[in-house]
Amino acid sequence: MIRFERVSVRYEGTERPTLSGVDLTVPEGELVLLVGPSGVGKSTLLGTVSGLVPHFTGGLLSGRVTVDSRDTRTHKPRELADLVGTVGQDPLAHFVTDTVEDELAYGMESLGLAPDVMRRRVEETLDLLGLAELRDRPIATLSGGQQQRVAIGSVLTPHPKVLVLDEPTSALDPAAAEEVLAVLQRLVHDLGTTVLMAEHRLERVVQYADQVVLLPAPGAAPVMGPPAGIMKVSPVRPPVVELGLLAGWDPLPLSVRDARRGAGGLRERLADASPPEAPGAPPASEQPGAAVPVRTGVAPASGPGSAAAPVPVAAAERSRPGRLARLLGQGRDRTGSPGTSGASATPAADPVTRVDGLGVRRGRVEALRRVTLTVAPGETVALMGRNGAGKSTLLGALVGMIEPTAGTVRVGGLAPARTDPRAMVRRVGLVPQEPRDLLYADTVAAECAAADRDAGAAEGTCRALVSELLPGVGDDTHPRDLSEGQRLALALALVLTGRPPLLLLDEPTRGLDYAAKARLVGVLRGLAAEGHAIVLATHDVELAAELAHRVVILADGEVVADGPTGRVVVSSPAFAPQTAKILAPQEWLTVSQVRGALEAGA
């Protein structure tokens, strides 16, 4: 269906081609997954199929791409519109009209289909994607998953033979991602659509793929093959594959279901070992609180109790009978009446932040209701919940961008919304969803100098942080030329210049590949060990499992679960990481835990 013949693409002003030597054939009716580290040219490869590369983006394409024997060199994107449907990374950038039904019809109107055909196809597509309830709604009022489905629907109505998707699930919560993937599955199975898709979050998609195309490095020739074979050699792979390789399973499992079938032996080997208490983070007992290595010069929180704080919480939870009782108990403890025995350990460390009965209203919408939360120094808390549950709002309230309508927020003893931003910078730092928002200057050096001034830090503080988090980036680099992961690291360094004891991150792994994510995890663990309290809002269950001591789940603006990561996520079908699903009922969260246990046992 799609043939690449010796395709290479080079953009103006670059030394080497972004893509080269691509020789592939994508057969009809298959779901082909494109994988590879960031910046290897996945989006460029996808762009050549719809003709946007090079007709729209510029650059030089040599070789030949044919889609259903139409040559993209001679056909402009608009002349391929009836054949190829393209959905980019950001669905909002895709929409031309303002309501769902008009959006679905837009492509067909451009192609000049007869009105009765358009009407029929819109109705069919509304049903296929489960959008019938939303047909009259303005697109701006939809949730992320709904928008992504509308975007897919809008390219489906002209009945394209090929669907090209760039990271369709990256911005979605786990449930919404499954929604979208179920739709794609249905298109491939029922309609014989050919789907070519790039995605970083392999744990979500790899089991649906018929073939995988691996782009190993920038400019390197791609490798195509069956998923299991490619995953063995791929530099990026999901936890289920890691676990399979670790345990030596053959054939390599790609889905949790396959893995569970073969996991009996591994579960037996692990039966005697028990997962570490504070998952992901170095066990707290190994860190004598007073001797915390202070690398970035953070005030060593507050005495010995601080770094050890998470553990007593976990221990206290253990002793409680039921999960519900535990949650309720926890809620009571945090409102300030430590009646029960174990919980008295928590307030021992002075909390970095204390949120009490917080409510936030926006117009008529109650974004947060009665949220109560304390975070101790050295503790990492993951905020989870579906899109729109109030995660970002809570972070906004903590950093002072949003004024509470009820309850109190205290960060380092101050109310963030009423305090001068210059004072808050030294108490709390937020890396927003779009790290680019924080960057104004033309060069990394200028950015650093500004950050030092803003935070009143000694000259060179920020630059030192940047060198540590982002080695090998020159002073003159323009922030816009950095990759997604590098930009995040730069924003993190800027925020850390004020040495805030409380660090907040909003969706830090969006658009990061596994390598960048692993670096981020390393950095954040180091910061937590130094006594920084970290709160991250994320959809990424694997990240939460790696990093968080505690998980707080928000739904409709309320805290519905708050407890140690293991306890909260293992029992949840949506928020459990793959390792936990495979090895349930044992409480292993990450592959590295399992590896550690196996090595210890061997």
Interface positions, 413-452, toward another protein (CB under 8 A): 421-422, 424-426, 429-430, 432-434, 436-438, 440, 450-451
Question: Does 72 sit near another protein (CB under 8 A)?
Answer: no
Q: Is the dihedral of CA 556, 560, 562, 565 positive or negative?
A: negative
CB-based burial of residue 299 (10 Å sphere; 0-12 exposed, 13-18 middle, 19+ buried)?
A: exposed
Q: Are 536 and 548 in contact (CB under 8 A)?
A: yes
C-beta of residue 597 within 8 angstroms of C-beta of residue 269: no
Total interface residues for another protein by CB under 8 A = 89
> Are 174 and 17 contacting, i.e. CB atoms less than 8 angstroms apart?
no
Instruction: Please identify which residue in 142, 197, 247, 582 interacts with another protein, judged by CB under 8 A.
Output: 142
Q: What is the CA radius of gyration of the chain?
A: 25
**Six-digit token string for 24:** 């592939």
Using CB under 8 A as the binding rule, the residues of this chain from 234 to 253 that contact another protein are none
- Distance, in Å, from the CA atom of 185 to the CA atom of 530, rounded to the nearest integer, reads 46
Decide if residue 581 touches another protein (CB under 8 A): no
User: Is there binding between residue 120 and another protein (CB under 8 A)?
Assistant: no
**By C-beta, is 34 or 438 nearer to another protein?**
438
* C-alpha dihedral sign at 474, 475, 481, 483: positive
For residue 90, state whether it binds another protein (rule: CB under 8 A): yes
Q: Is residue 94 involved in binding another protein (CB under 8 A)?
A: yes
Among 14, 25, 110, 319, interactor with another protein by CB under 8 A: 110
d(CA 466, CA 469): 5
**Could you say whether residue 155 binds another protein (CB under 8 A)?**
yes
266 binding another protein? (CB under 8 A)? no
How far, in Å, CA of 538 to CA of 318, rounded? 26
Q: Which parts of 533-572 interact with another protein (CB under 8 A)?
A: none
Which residue's CB is nearer to another protein, number 181 or number 430? 430
Toward another protein, which CB reaches closer, 340 or 433?
433
Q: Residue 286's CB: how many other CB atoms inside 10 A?
A: 8
Q: How many CB atoms lie within 10 A of CB 267?
A: 15
Q: Should residue 395 be labelled a site residue for another protein when binding is judged by CB under 8 A?
A: yes
Please, which residue, 255 or 296, has the CB nearer to another protein?
296
Token pair for residue 470? 């982002």
Q: Residue 349 or 488: which CB sits closer to another protein?
A: 488
- Residues near 170 by beta carbon (within 8 Å), at least 6 away in sequence: 89, 199, 200, 201, 510, 511
Find the part of the chain contacting another protein (CB under 8 A) among 109-117, 239-247, 343-351, 515-523. Answer: 109-117
52 touches another protein by CB under 8 A: yes
HEC per residue, 80-141: CCCCEEEECCCHHHHCCCCEHHHHHHHHHHHHCCCHHHHHHHHHHHHHHCCCHHHCCCEHHH
- Work out which of 62, 141, 185, 335 binds another protein, going by CB under 8 A: 141
Does 404 sit behind a cis peptide bond, omega within 30 degrees of 0 on the bond before it? Answer: no
Output 75 or 519, the one with its CB closest to another protein.
75
Residue 321-360 contact track with another protein, rule CB under 8 A, x = bound = ----------------------------------------
Euclidean distance between CA atoms 44 and 65, whole angstroms:
13
Provide, rounded to whole angstroms, the least separation between the CB of residue 580 and another protein.
28
Single residue of 396, 508, 563, 564 touching another protein by CB under 8 A: 396
Q: How far is the CB of 125 from another protein (least distance, A)?
A: 12
Of the two residues 158 and 253, which places its CB atom closer to another protein in the complex?
158
State which of residues 190, 248, 364, 471 lies at the interface with another protein (CB under 8 A).
364
Residue (112 or 264) nearer to another protein, CB: 112
- Tell me how far apart the alpha carbons of residues 184 and 177 are, in angstroms, rounded to a whole number: 11
Closer by beta carbon to another protein, 28 or else 98 = 98
**Residue of the chain from 257, 295, 362, 418 that contacts another protein (CB under 8 A):** 362
- Is residue 454 close enough to count as binding another protein by CB under 8 A? yes
Which residues, numbered 183-242, are part of the site for another protein (CB under 8 A)? none
Q: Work out whether 78 is an interface residue with another protein (CB under 8 A).
A: yes
Closest CA to 538 of 517, 522, 564, 563: 517
Our CB check for another protein shows the closer of 178 and 210 to be: 178
Please, what is the minimum distance in Å from the beta carbon of residue 98 to another protein? 6
- Work out how close the CB of 597 gets to another protein at its nearest, in angstroms, rounded to a whole number: 39
Comparison of 392 and 461: residue with beta carbon closer to another protein: 392
Among 132, 290, 365, 458, binds another protein (CB under 8 A): 365
* Residues in contact with 453: Cβ distance below 8 Å, sequence separation at least 6, in sequence order: none
Q: Which region, judged by CB under 8 A, interacts with another protein, from 89-97, 229-237, 252-260, 287-295? A: 89-97
Interacting residues with another protein between 481 and 540 (CB under 8 A):
494-495, 498, 506
Burial 321-351 (b: 16+ CB within 10 A, else e): eeeeebbebbeebbeeeeeeebbebbbebbb
Work out whether 459 is an interface residue with another protein (CB under 8 A). Answer: no
Nearer CB in complex with another protein: 296/571: 296
**Percent helix, strand and coil across the chain, each to the nearest 5:** 45, 20, 40
Task: Candidates 48-56, 64-72, 180-188, 261-269: pick the segment binding another protein (CB under 8 A).
Answer: 48-56
Decide whether 209 or 367 has the Cβ nearer to another protein. 367
**Residue 313 and residue 564 in contact, taking contact as beta carbons nearer than 8 Å:** yes
Region of 82-90, 221-229, 458-466, 481-489 interacting with another protein (CB under 8 A): 82-90
Among residues 397 and 580, whose Cβ is nearest to another protein? Answer: 397
Kindly state the smallest distance separating residue 17's Cβ from another protein, in Å: 21
Query: Which residue, 259 or 395, has its beta carbon nearer to another protein?
Result: 395
Nearest approach in angstroms of CB 506 to another protein is: 8
Question: What span, in angstroms and rounded, lies between the C-alpha atoms of 335 and 73?
Answer: 65
Neighbours of 210 (CB within 10 A): 16
Q: How far apart are CA 534 and CA 547, in angstroms?
A: 10
In order, the DSSP letters of 330-380 are HHHHHTT---STGGGGGGGSPPSEEEEEEEEEETTEEEEEEEEEEE-TT-E
Q: Which of 223, 401, 449, 598 binds another protein (CB under 8 A)?
A: 401
Q: Hey, what amino acid is at 597?
A: A
